[in-house]
Amino acid sequence: MALFLTEDDVGKLLTMNDAIEVLDRAFRQLAGNNAPVRPRQRVKIAGGTLQVMPAALPAERAIGFKAYTTMAGRPNFHFTLYDSTTGELLAVMQANRLGQIRTGAASGVATRYMARDKVAVVGCIGTGWQARSQVEAVCAVRKFERGLAYGRDPARLRAFCDEISNTVNLPIEPASNPDQVASEVDVLIAATNARRPVFDGNALSAGVHVNAIGSNGAERQEVDEATVVRSSRVVVDLKEQANIECGDVIPVVSAGRITWSNVIELADIVAGRTSGRDSDDEITLFESQGIALEDVAVGIHVYRLARERGIGREIPA
């Protein structure tokens, strides 16, 4: 029998700290060519889009895919997990919470290797579902003194600051504009659904590390050309996928300001093939599209914990 796990089940089982460690190991396997992964595939119809993301972690005996629909503006996420040795169906789980945590964890891994060791201020532009786990993740790998956040809706921004302050035990204050966040922080998170850049890259201070997670379509540009060009490291989770959907980098490459050979995969930094930064003055950029390997890595972790703790409902395999 396989397991069916709900959003609540996943939320009880998957912590941010565990997710960061799980993804760190998964990226090392990717660097060793031991983790086949394919870019996101999209099937578009008049009413919306089906998106499918497959990958495997043979060392964990795990292979699977996340599939989700966006119909009438409403996403619906599920992750399906198999034993990569026997082909047996292991689990089907609702995957909105899974995706939120693993996306944050990927930025946590990038921040671990790319941000300066000594930091004081974390900043977030965006106050939505994904922004919450982003702040939690970077605070899991660096110790900050305070934080700044910006969102267009003042009431929502205030509520976000209050909630996240309690979650990470850090004072998070509203900023008056996005460029204030960009200019005053040591780690900057851009977590929006914007189609145009949300801050001026020329406002970035020396030494800042940027995690940009909103641009997972070629038509979306969350950070501007100045941010990309000023960054000594432009890092993606999978170059093959970034070529298709990294709207922050694609136009800068097309304009001839950088080339894809300048872009580094996060796995190479995690595995020690190249450094995340060479000095405290460098600006570094992690462009997260979110890849299927991350879903498989946290998915097998959640499944094993569910079996250990007797959580989930058995379904025919």
Active site residues: 66
Closest CA to 298 of 22, 9, 5, 112: 22
Distance CA 240, CA 70 (A): 23
Q: Report the run of H or E that residue 308 belongs to, with start and end.
A: helix 292-309
Beta-ladder partners of 210: 188, 285
HEC profile of 238-264: CHHHHHHHCCCCHHHHHCCCCCHHHEE
Altogether, the residues listed in the chain come to a count of 317
Distance CA 11, CA 57 (A): 22
Q: Report the run of H or E that residue 111 belongs to, with start and end.
A: helix 96-114
Distance CA 125, CA 177 (A): 9
Q: What is the CA radius of gyration of the chain?
A: 19
DSSP assigned state of 72: T
Backbone angles phi, psi at 110, to 5 degrees: -60, -45
Q: Do β-strands 2-5 and 41-45 pair in parallel, antiparallel, or remain unpaired? A: unpaired
Distance CA 169, CA 145 (A): 10
